[in-house]
Structures are given as structure tokens and as C-alpha cells.
């Protein structure tokens, strides 16, 4: 039961980040044959990070809040259709 609490805290932290950054919750959509998970993807990452960190609900929520930012800075991104050298 505690695991669910940490995952929920991480997910809510990630949604809080999405609300602060975009001032809205982005719904899932399909555009140009690309499926955008929207807030669902953010919640999944936040829940995983919230579970992976120290087992404290506050720390889990904060980890969910910064989890997407860390991934965006670590993983190099290319625009769809561009080739990497």
C-alpha cells in the first residue's frame, strides 16, 4: 500500500510541474501519425521516479516534479524527421 502512495505522490508532483510549465494539462492526442501521451506520460514518469527515490511522500512528490526536467536534459532530442549525424 505504501508503494501506491509514493507512486501517486510522484504522479501528482509531475502533474503539478505540467500545470506550472504549460498553465494547462495537455491531453493525449494523435497528430501527423505521432501519438503524444500528454499528461499520462508525465504521470507515468513521475510515478516511477516517485517510487524510485527515498520512501517519503514529500520526497516522492518533489522527485515527480523534477523527473521530466531531468530526462529532458539528459536525453538528446531531435525533431521528428531529422536525422542525427
Provide mean pLDDT across the span 67-75: 79
Write out the DSSP string of 23-76: SSPPPPEEETTEEE-THHHHHHHHHHHHHHS-S-HHHHHHHHHHHHHHHHHHS-
pLDDT of residue 69: 79
Give the rounded percent of residues in the chain with a pLDDT score beyond 90.
8
The mean pLDDT of 42-70, rounded to a whole number, is: 87
Mean pLDDT of the chain: 84
pLDDT of residue 56: 87
Q: Find the distance separating the first CA and the last CA of the chain, reported in whole Å.
A: 47
Could you tell me the pTM of the whole model? 0.74
Contacts of 26 (CB under 8 A, 6+ apart): 18, 36, 38, 39
Amino acid at each position: 500500500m505504501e508503494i501506491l502512495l509514493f507512486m501517486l505522490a510522484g504522479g501528482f508532483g509531475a502533474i503539478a510541474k505540467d500545470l506550472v510549465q504549460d498553465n494547462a494539462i495537455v491531453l493525449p492526442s494523435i497528430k501527423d501519425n505521432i501519438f503524444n501521451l500528454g499528461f499520462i506520460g508525465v504521470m507515468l514518469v513521475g510515478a516511477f521516479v516517485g517510487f524510485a527515490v527515498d520512501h517519503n511522500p514529500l520526497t516522492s512528490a518533489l522527485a515527480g516534479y523534477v523527473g521530466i526536467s531531468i530526462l529532458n536534459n539528459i536525453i538528446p532530442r531531435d525533431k521528428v524527421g531529422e536525422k542525427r549525424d
